Amino acid sequence: MTYVNEHYAKLRSSYLFSEIARRVQAFQSANPAARIIRLGIGDVTRPLPPAVIRALHEAVDEMARAETFRGYGPEAGYEFLIAAIAEHEYASRGVAIGADEIFVSDGGKSDSANIQEIFAPDSVVAVTDPVYPVYVDSNVMAGRSGPPDESGRYAGLVYLPCTAENGFQPPFPEGPADLVYLCYPNNPTGAVLTRPALRGWVDWARAHGAILLYDAAYEAYIRDPEIPHSIFEIEGAREVAIEFRSFSKKAGFTGTRCAFTVVPREARGRTRGGDAVSLNALWLRRQSTKFNSVPYIVQRGAAAVYSPQGQREVRALIDDYMENARIIREGLEATGLTVHGGANAPYLWVRTPRGLGSWDFFDRLLGDAHVVGTPGAGFGPSGEGYLRLTGFGRRDETEDAVERIKTRLQL
């Protein structure tokens, strides 16, 4: 008899986006003339930069000729892309990352979901609250938790509440924690970790023998020159951190799929017998056994992001989204709403007015302004009382949505 992985049964059904869809659908049916604007989406809307498009076309042509055709590529990615990443993402910031420490992949989602496989099944996992659900779900599926409680928190996981009261800065775990997932700039709060705060985390991990799983998928949105883009800008991080990066939000690759993960040679875990084991070697083994890298075409497209033209175009793309974020933030603040984030991140974390619940504010925004946000409660109990908006929409729609909120929302 074949038995299933019963840990899956613990998972709360991810009702957030289906519930949003249901409410939007119901509203649209009742108000067929309403032109609804989605301002809560986490997906990009601008086309790929021309430098990337050209590189993709050239790579497609290479695949058309026997002399330049590419079959299986190197399992951790092509040297041309890895070298460009090492140079432009790290060396340019004074951080030395070796080619054998960079693993190209199809997405930050895959990597941040798969990384837990190389750790012991009984590792204690800490996550922020609110949180990107993949960190939690992948560990629940692997059996590192008990069932969820009423609020959605799983037994055995350590939650680090991030609220206005602590400036959305995660407190250190009070008890033991082996693996800590940190995502900064943060989805959904838009908060960042300053250099001293990040140094505090590295020091904490070193003192506690923990590993930090640092998701920097949104680093390209950092404006403040004092905010680190990589955890490896912090001394000592190479022993205790793994970093996830992505071309998704940096260069519009959500539908083109390319990302990378950095596992330094010095990062180590232990066996029960007390031996140190290289996490780099474990991840290499994981990836080379279970993955066959990213399409050659896509790797060429990603490398073009680092050409001078690509760099300019990507900066313009991000400026554009950040201008949306500014428009939303200033518009909502003008109505008296409290808005966090949006300064070094594409996400705006809007406090619901007068103690309204996340879903109540969602309904109000939809009903009054025909604007769709994402209820903060969907990201965890500490997200209750917030709504997530993003700068990823079209400019005209973003302006229109803000104008409607200013003029129609009954607070």
| Interface with a copy of itself in residues 1-40 (CB under 8 A) | 1-6, 8-9, 11
**Closest to a copy of itself by CB, 173 or 357:** 173
Contact 34, 28 (CB under 8 A): yes
Q: How far is the CB of 48 from a copy of itself (least distance, A)?
A: 5
Residues of this chain, 294-353, that bind a copy of itself according to CB under 8 A: 294-298
Candidate residues 33, 289, 354, 355; the one interacting with a copy of itself per rule CB under 8 A? 289
Q: How far is the CB of 373 from a copy of itself (least distance, A)?
A: 18
Cα separation, 393 vs 46, in Å, equals 9
- Helical segments of 273-384, H only: 279-290, 296-304, 308-334, 358-369
- Per rule CB under 8 A, is residue 98 in the interface with a copy of itself? no
**Closest to a copy of itself by CB, 294 or 345:** 294
Candidate residues 72, 165, 226, 235; the one interacting with a copy of itself per rule CB under 8 A? 72
**Closest to a copy of itself by CB, 4 or 33:** 4
Q: How far is the CB of 301 from a copy of itself (least distance, A)?
A: 9
Residues of this chain, 161-200, that bind a copy of itself according to CB under 8 A: 178-179
Contact 251, 98 (CB under 8 A): no
Residues of this chain, 195-254, that bind a copy of itself according to CB under 8 A: 209-211, 252, 254
Cα separation, 144 vs 77, in Å, equals 31
18-21 contacts: CB < 8 A, separation 24 or more? Answer: 20/362, 20/372, 20/374, 20/375
Q: How far is the CB of 329 from a copy of itself (least distance, A)?
A: 23
**Closest to a copy of itself by CB, 11 or 197:** 11
Cα separation, 164 vs 112, in Å, equals 26
Which among 64-72, 162-170, 323-331, 364-372 is the span making contact with a copy of itself, rule CB under 8 A? 64-72
Smallest CA-to-CA distance from 259 within 99, 96, 85 is with 85
Alpha carbon separation from 223 to 94, 119, 164, 177, 191 (Å, rounded): 18, 35, 21, 32, 12
Candidate residues 187, 256, 390, 398; the one interacting with a copy of itself per rule CB under 8 A? 256
**Closest to a copy of itself by CB, 36 or 53:** 53
Q: How far is the CB of 278 from a copy of itself (least distance, A)?
A: 9
**Closest to a copy of itself by CB, 30 or 66:** 66
Contacts of 15 (CB under 8 A, 6+ apart): none
Contacts of 374 (CB under 8 A, 6+ apart): 16, 20, 40, 42, 188, 362, 387, 388, 389
Candidate residues 40, 107, 264, 310; the one interacting with a copy of itself per rule CB under 8 A? 107
Q: How far is the CB of 287 from a copy of itself (least distance, A)?
A: 10
Residues of this chain, 375-404, that bind a copy of itself according to CB under 8 A: 394
Q: How far is the CB of 360 from a copy of itself (least distance, A)?
A: 28
**Closest to a copy of itself by CB, 103 or 119:** 119
Candidate residues 93, 195, 285, 408; the one interacting with a copy of itself per rule CB under 8 A? 285
Cα separation, 307 vs 164, in Å, equals 40
**Closest to a copy of itself by CB, 203 or 368:** 203
Residues of this chain, 128-157, that bind a copy of itself according to CB under 8 A: 134, 137-138, 141, 143
Candidate residues 27, 172, 204, 291; the one interacting with a copy of itself per rule CB under 8 A? 291
Q: What is the DSSP annotation of 319-345?
A: HHHHHHHHHHHHHHHHTT--EEE-SSS
Q: How far is the CB of 161 from a copy of itself (least distance, A)?
A: 23
Looking only at the bridges linking them, the beta strands covering 179-183 and 125-129 are parallel
Smallest CA-to-CA distance from 245 within 234, 230, 228 is with 230
Smallest CA-to-CA distance from 366 within 303, 324, 410, 318 is with 410
User: Token digits for 139?
Assistant: 């560990």
Cα separation, 299 vs 104, in Å, equals 9
